[in-house]
Structure 1
Amino acid sequence: MSDNSDLLFQNSYYIGNNFNTILYGVQLVLYVMTMQRLVRTTRKSTADKFFIFHSTATLILITIYVAVESVFGEEMWIVNRDFPGGQGAYLATFAAVWYQTMGTTASVALNLLSDGLLIYRCYIVWSDFRVLIFPGILYLATLGVVELWASGAPHSDFFAGLAAHLGLAYYSLSIGLNVVVTSIICGRLLWYARTAKHYLGADVSGAYFSVAALIVESALPYSMAGIAFLVSYGLNSEISILFLSIYVMFTAVSPQMLVLRVVDGRAWKQNQMTDTSTTLDFTNSSRGQTNGSSQYVSGSTKDDGIMVRLETMNKTDRSVEDVGKFSTSGDSASHI
């Protein structure tokens, strides 16, 4: 490694550690918000318990990763600043130190947790096990045991030699899984958003199909960061360590955003889309009072048999301006 490339690598490592601390703060805020909502629930369901476990495990694993990278940076830049050959030589000598292997293990475990949650959400959106066949095969191939062995072996280097080649294969499969699942989820939501917009209008369909909802539901930042890291890692670029830091952090942040959305009740639910019937509830708070009336409009469709019902109602404790429900069925006519 030349002096210029080593300098670029060291700067990328330093900036990556700064991104780690920033995104770790975001992760802590999301975790606290999630726990506050789950703790308030007196009778916790199985899903609530799962989200508590998933969120806590994610926080522990990302804490290990951030701590390891910070400690290694301190050892390399401060404690051993006079190491013979400089910081590049220190990195090559101690890249496989035990706590670095622990940090790599934490990142692999994070991938498994995050990808598992994404596959589960893919099933929720589609309600069809057949769409999980290919992602499931990729998931089994991303256990990362071989990568951990190669990167943790004595005198090995995550960014060079056998560990780098095996790492490229591992991350290609893992990030490929992210992209596949994200595309499947995005495709389904975009198709349904178009249908909802056609029959209910943009304002009503936006409750479930906004840009922010699409990004969170599909964990898009997780996949995009993975692609950026994979390209730089495959090119053996010195800035790959920076994109690796961002990618690992979004392995925790993106799923936590999704869990918070589910806990808040704003995420896509399984009973909202099935093979034969789909129900969507859109609720917008009104600023004024209504007269407690309901409006019904009649119409018909040619092929898809979609029934739409729009109501305007008022209650003493809250007012609802628009509530739209529509379901797909085999009938060719619809009454609203």
Structure 2
Amino acid sequence: MTYLCLIFTMGSLFTASGVWILIYLRLEYPLYPGGPLGWELDHYSHPILNLGNSAYILTSWFSDGFMMYRCWIIYSEGPGVSIVLLLPGLLYLASLASGILLLYQTSLPHESLFSQINFGLLNFSIAAALNILLTVMISGRLYAHRLRMQRLLGVGHSPLRIYTSVIGLLIESSAMHSAFALLFIIPFSMGHPLSQFSLMLLGQVQVISPLLVSYRITQRKAWTRSTAHDM
């Protein structure tokens, strides 16, 4: 419950920051050269923008950490789980380090996500790679369990169907988060304006994805450490 409150609060702060900036610009600087984006680039160290950036990075850390935990749960009944999680763990540490560098950079005057030395691209790329890797690992493991049970019991008689259905695989693996991460990182790396819109969506999706998994846990539809043994 504490985790859910934290990630929901961070997501709300990120949204509130974006809404406040839009309203503030419309009222105070309606004719600012370059529009809202021009003002943001010139005032990226503004306290409200820093609040939104910090909330976004913290949400990303909470979301990725939760999916790391879920990946450990799903792989925990097999041997060598520490080796399996080595690469995701290293990527997560890299995400923490690059996130700290990004927050420091954006807090400096005349610096932004679009500075020449771009820690934003580094952080977002690492986070996207981690999410895609976890999605592949989790969905692959659950699908392998599904195939194994189908071979043993026949198609349509698998007791794991509640955990390995298409919807279950998509939610458990946080596939939506990975998809929106790609939707953001590709235009952002190209400097396309679409990245501004997709960043706001990604900020919400990285809250929604773990909430969906948590909901399945409360409904006892999510994979646990004892699921495979209970079957």
- Both structures adopt the same fold (TM-score exceeding 0.5): yes
Q: Which residue of 2 aligns with 1:129?
A: 82
How far is 1:197 from its partner? 2.1
Q: Which residue of 1 aligns with 2:144?
A: 191
- Matching of residue 158 in structure 1 with residue 113 in structure 2: yes
How far is 1:228 from its partner? 1.3
Q: Which residue of 2 aligns with 1:19?
A: none
SS at match of 1:74: helix
Q: Is this contact kept in 2: 1:76–1:91, CA < 8 A?
A: no
Give, in whole Å, the separation in 1 of the partners of 2:66 and 2:154. Answer: 31
Give, in whole Å, the separation in 2 of the partners of 1:184 and 1:85. Answer: 43
Give, in whole Å, the separation in 2 of the partners of 1:240 and 1:114. Answer: 20
Give, in whole Å, the separation in 1 of the partners of 2:35 and 2:53. Answer: 24
How far is 1:129 from its partner? 2.5
How far is 1:161 from its partner? 2.8
Q: Which residue of 1 aligns with 2:196?
A: 241
Give, in whole Å, the separation in 2 of the partners of 1:134 and 1:85. Answer: 42
Q: Which residue of 1 aligns with 2:19?
A: 70
- Gap runs ≥5 in structure 2: none
Residue by residue over 1:165-209, the C-alpha shift from the partner in whole angstroms, topping out at 9 and shown as x without a partner, is 211111111111111111111111111111122233443332221
Counterpart residue type for residue 202 of structure 2 = Y
Counterpart residue type for residue 121 of structure 1 = R
Residue by residue over 1:292-314, the C-alpha shift from the partner in whole angstroms, topping out at 9 and shown as x without a partner, is xxxxxxxxxxxxxxxxxxxxxxx
SS at match of 2:95: coil
How far is 1:211 from its partner? 0.6
Selected match of 1:175 from 128, 135, 150: 128
Selected match of 1:258 from 192, 213, 218: 213
Task: Tell me the percent identity.
Answer: 25
Q: Is this contact kept in 1: 2:22–2:36, CA < 8 A?
A: no
Give, in whole Å, the separation in 2 of the partners of 1:269 and 1:110. Answer: 24
Counterpart residue type for residue 246 of structure 1 = L
How far is 1:151 from its partner? 1.4
Tell me whether 243-252 or 86-95 shows the greater mean CA deviation. 86-95
Residue by residue over 1:145-167, the C-alpha shift from the partner in whole angstroms, topping out at 9 and shown as x without a partner, is 101011121122223433xx211
Q: Is this contact kept in 1: 2:113–2:120, CA < 8 A?
A: yes
Counterpart residue type for residue 70 of structure 1 = V
Residue by residue over 1:109-160, the C-alpha shift from the partner in whole angstroms, topping out at 9 and shown as x without a partner, is 1111111111111111111222111111111111111010111211222234
Greater helix share, 1 or 2? 2
Q: TM-score, normalised by structure 1?
A: 0.63
Q: CA RMSD in A?
A: 1.5
How far is 1:271 from its partner? 1.3
Give, in whole Å, the separation in 2 of the partners of 1:218 and 1:89. Answer: 38
Q: Which residue of 1 aligns with 2:182?
A: 227
Give, in whole Å, the separation in 2 of the partners of 1:132 and 1:192. Answer: 18
Residue by residue over 1:23-49, the C-alpha shift from the partner in whole angstroms, topping out at 9 and shown as x without a partner, is xxxxxxxxxxxxxxxxxxxxxxxxxxx
Q: TM-score, normalised by structure 2?
A: 0.91
Greater strand share, 1 or 2? 1
Counterpart residue type for residue 72 of structure 1 = I
How far is 1:84 from its partner? 4.9
Give, in whole Å, the separation in 2 of the partners of 1:85 and 1:141. Answer: 34
Cα gap change, 1:103 to 1:279, in 2 (>3 Å)? same
How far is 1:86 from its partner? 4.0
Give, in whole Å, the separation in 1 of the partners of 2:125 and 2:147. Answer: 32
Give, in whole Å, the separation in 2 of the partners of 1:86 and 1:271. Answer: 55
Q: Is this contact kept in 2: 1:96–1:155, CA < 8 A?
A: yes
Cα gap change, 1:145 to 1:88, in 2 (>3 Å)? closer
Give, in whole Å, the separation in 2 of the partners of 1:161 and 1:73. Answer: 25
Give, in whole Å, the separation in 2 of the partners of 1:252 and 1:224. Answer: 14
How far is 1:77 from its partner? 2.6
Cα gap change, 1:213 to 1:77, in 2 (>3 Å)? same
Give, in whole Å, the separation in 1 of the partners of 2:36 and 2:89. Answer: 41
Give, in whole Å, the separation in 1 of the partners of 2:107 and 2:72. Answer: 35
Q: Which residue of 1 aligns with 2:6?
A: 57
Q: Is this contact kept in 1: 2:174–2:210, CA < 8 A?
A: yes
